[in-house]
Chain A
């Protein structure tokens, strides 16, 4: 009895302490500023914020930084919970999304009251892209065209080429007569082929192959959609687009002047900058944001150093007319004020400061972002002068960034662009891999994306979600669940013992029952109700009936594929993982020396940070010089010790594991085996619990090792095996992180797991109602599978079972 009271007192006191923690009082105005900057710009920003606080006594600013990948998930949660920051960083596409839903404050009245701020000072395209229906919602901070070429001066000299001045052009054929004026010719001239025919250096590499294709297509005047803000037609089959894809794929796969998708091996991470630094490419295309990284790696005086600079990307010269047209796909960001702020005046002061001279001067100095205020981007903070410290003198030709802004092309801002373009572009990956022609792949992409676009544009008038019906259904669901648990036993006679057991169970189950009622049931029922609605997180939900479920099963072009991918992953990885874990546990259960060390080693991958290991796995799977290929095929990948090349369907070239449509999913499955440490520990604990005398008895009966394993080990470890099976299946149906950080679902949706699709729908496309329907479909499947597996419980041997 004393244990019980001690325990409850302990729980009560812990809970009581925690309840009083959050009470805090603040005297000054505290503004919250949300940004998605990395470490380097964060250092600059916090300095700027300190200066703002010094200049504005009484205002404190809290800088809330989180990476772009997770930024909107957090911001949307905060908006839904009515605890949004006061000022937030936004890019054009997301600004449209929030402004349309009236979560942002229009800035024009504030600008009207602030004579010192002149919008004419800013790059005009950047201002225009932040308008919706004529009102400005975001004050531009930086402009970021991907229209820059970083080049290695030393290699230009070696190739006997003069340095580029940015007036170069390209067309589909190299023009040696133009010399430095022809970009394609330069690519060719800078490419170095070794004696054995192997490429030792490429002329050019794009940071993202897709961004280079965009540049090529846009500079011919092609655009993917008809109206950027609200398009209803796609132009992926425009002959200029088709030709651009063909051209870029040929540059890599046929002409070998630029690394192919395989060689770049960059599904997510751009490695072009690394190739540039190690002088394996002579030029590469990127935006200005790579400068800090290049500067850091190429410090003057260091052995790695070589002279480098930037210039603008070439324009397209029409071979017939001789007319040159240019384009630079562009991004950029700015600061907007949330309509929910309690301090609009102070928030405006902060916005002006951050996006204005004080903030952007510092950003420019650090070389991080090209200021949207044109004067600053032309001034000495951005352009190196005679007084600039040596390490900031690169790139000398920083003024190229100003010229690049004349050719900006922003991506479409309609919020369905992400989903629609994602569908189309996933089909174009085989073009770069050389497994499909441009016209076939783009035709397919156009078809699927257009069908999806039609569904999205079909705006149904939906009634608002009726919360009274919602509440009633919620209660009914709960009653049904309780009924399912207790109804089958309702008729059985309650003996005194049974009643006693029931009473005792309540005490033990209390924490779980309270926790479930408090924290779990509400959100679960809520998401269930939302699965029948159209809900974008910000605006009130509308009732859609079974529309979401119907859309998933019959219309969503990615639904069945993601089901298939997830199913294959589960069916292969769970049994494989269990066999692996059991084998390891059996090995470690022998009396070997240094067992604790071994065990820790086998558990290490499960301890490592997911992000860090994803990078390392990319390096392991890298086709050229990757560890796996080196082990399997030798360092020049010419060997084939195990006859694997045939099995993997690759001839000659080393397999491109995560970059290939057929091998990406197997690669992720192989990778998952490194996570068996958890299962191993559980099974090992089960094995260790088997009393020695069972084995002794079996030996006396003359049993061999196999028989002992079957008759003693397997039954006694079956509770642990059962546990790893059930939790393994539940977990792998919801597999997400690996694909999210490593492949983003590619290539060609071959690793688009169900959860990845669900995530994109929820926080990416703001279709939380639809995502909820997807989640509940998954729930039903997992529940059914678990219920089925539960029938195996009969065969599980519990020593303590009655």
Chain B
């Protein structure tokens, strides 16, 4: 009986591993293809299949992208990192505050106000772009990183608030009730109970937020027109001009733009796992 179970168990594990490996293969393929393309010369790109192994892998495209004086990769990298870091910081602070109110404070009209909050996601940004631009222009914020970072400190976006709210709702109420009995107010519960238990949720939000701002195109496109203040995604677009695409450079550039994100995701995900393990208190 036990033996049969063990065999089944092992078979199950093997099946899972095979499924995962196949899935991985499919999911890695697009990035693998960009990588292959980035190692080829333009002529080889035009004459071979996109995913074939390069005849002579070369990093020439990478050095060309790095040394292009008109699209200074290093400077754009710095700008992008600054914007993404500030926006992530702002989101982590403000979204967690707002989400706490929606999850743990029982105020009048809470659920309807929450829908109102969500509704800011429901209107296509294209039609608010012009008035928003004019607003930031009047504040003299155009051509600075302010339009891309300051709003993050004021709410951090409905998506992040919603995500954190869902996590906070999962924290057993016994915990905050116990704190309340000891005379703690909401600020104490937020900072001493909820936040310490929400490492995984915060890590998730931070990683998402960082990635979002790192890859944002429309925001920098509209607000940053000085080449020196721009971001990597805008820089990459230079290699993707409508009638003069330079796929070899575009691929090399996009791989380099991706690497920091892979690192951040890989490091950040360790914290995703450390869920709300305290729920075991029950």
Contacts and interface: CB of A to CB of B under 8 A. Distances in A.
Given A515-B155, A689-B275, A799-B172, A40 B265 contact: no
Closest 10 CB pairs of A and B: A515-B154, A38-B241, A689-B275, A508-B101, A505-B107, A81-B137, A512-B155, A38-B244, A523-B128, A609-B254
A690 B129 CA distance: 42
B73 interface: no
Contact of A67 (B162, B222, B242): B242
Interface string B6-48: 0000000100110110011011111101100100011111110
B171 interface: yes
Given A527-B131, A619-B51, 17 more contacts: A15-B153, A18-B150, A64-B227, A74-B222, A77-B130, A277-B47, A290-B243, A304-B43, A504-B105, A587-B20, A599-B269, A611-B254, A723-B162, A723-B163, A762-B126, A778-B124, A798-B170
Contacts of A526: 128, 131
Contacts of B277: 689, 691
B198 to A, nearest CB: 10
Given A600-B269, A722-B166, A627 B126 contact: no
Chain B facing A: main interface SS: helix
A297 B46 CA distance: 8
B166 to A, nearest CB: 4
B119 A278 contact: no
A116 B119 CA distance: 60
Contacts of B162: 723, 726-727
Tell which of A65, A292, A510 has the most Cβ of chain B within 10 Å. Answer: A65
A609 B236 contact: yes
B244 A514 contact: no
Interface string B229-255: 000011011111111111101110010
Nearest to B120: A520
A798 B151 CA distance: 30
A485 B282 CA distance: 35
B93 A7 contact: yes
16 contacts: A3-B187, A18-B150, A273-B46, A486-B108, A512-B117, A518-B154, A522-B131, A523-B131, A523-B135, A527-B128, A607-B31, A681-B207, A688-B200, A693-B280, A775-B127, A800-B172
Tell which of B136, B140, B146, B154 has the most Cβ of chain A within 10 Å. Answer: B154
A616 B244 contact: no
A782 B33 CA distance: 37
A244 B267 CA distance: 59
Given A511-B98, A526-B131, A604-B31, A799 B279 contact: yes
B81 interface: no
Interface string A692-730: 010000000000000000000000000110110011001
Given A292-B244, A605-B27, A616-B33, A39 B70 contact: yes
Contact of A511 (B44, B129, B143, B154): B154
Interface in A15-46: 15, 18, 21-22, 32, 34, 36-43, 46
Contacts of B33: 616, 619
Contact of B122 (A507, A600, A678, A779): A779
A759 to B, nearest CB: 6
A706 to B, nearest CB: 14
Interface residues of B, number: 152
Interface stretch (A257-265, A661-669, A783-791): A783-791
Contacts of A1: 187
Contact of A37 (B100, B116, B241): B241
B111 to A, nearest CB: 8
A242 to B, nearest CB: 29
Interface in A325-371: none
Interface stretch (A158-166, A409-417, A590-598): A590-598
Contacts of B71: 39, 42
A407 interface: no
Contact of A596 (B190, B247, B269): B269
A80 B131 CA distance: 8
B179 interface: no
Tell which of B243, B245, B273, B275 has the most Cβ of chain A within 10 Å. Answer: B243
Tell which of B70, B126, B227 has the most Cβ of chain A within 10 Å. Answer: B126
A768 B130 contact: yes
A274 interface: yes
A610 B217 CA distance: 10
B23 A527 contact: no
Interface string B184-220: 0111101100000000110010011001000101000
A727 B117 CA distance: 13
A600 B262 contact: yes
A530 interface: yes
A167 interface: no
A524 B13 contact: no
B31 A77 contact: no
A1 B276 CA distance: 25
A64 B225 contact: yes
B115 A293 contact: no
B155 A511 contact: yes
A135 interface: no
Contacts of B207: 681
A393 B273 CA distance: 61
Contacts of A515: 94, 151, 153-155
A4 B122 CA distance: 32
A18 B146 contact: yes
A546 interface: no
Contacts of B266: 596, 600
Nearest to A722: B166
Contacts of A293: 42, 244
Contacts of B123: 524, 527, 775-776, 778-779
A34 B221 CA distance: 13
Contact of A69 (B137, B191, B242): B242
A21 B24 CA distance: 45
Nearest to A46: B70
Contact of A524 (B128, B155, B262): B128
Interface string A40-80: 11110010000000000000001111111110011011101
Contacts of A802: 106, 173
A469 interface: no
B195 to A, nearest CB: 9
A338 B134 CA distance: 18
Contact of A611 (B106, B185, B240): B240
A559 interface: no
B119 A779 contact: yes
Given A81-B133, A304-B47, A608-B34, A592 B20 contact: yes
A772 B280 CA distance: 50
Nearest to A734: B124
A518 B135 CA distance: 9
Contact of B279 (A511, A599, A689, A763): A689
B258 interface: yes
Contact of B98 (A509, A598, A684, A801): A509
A762 B131 CA distance: 13
A269 interface: yes
A730 B32 CA distance: 31
Contacts of A501: 105-107
B118 A512 contact: no
Contacts of B90: 14
B275 A587 contact: no
B20 A688 contact: no
A585 to B, nearest CB: 11
A723 B103 CA distance: 14
B265 A607 contact: yes
B130 A76 contact: yes
A600 B187 contact: no
A98 interface: no
Contacts of A302: 43
Contacts of B66: none
Given A587-B16, A800-B168, A64 B222 contact: no
B243 A38 contact: yes
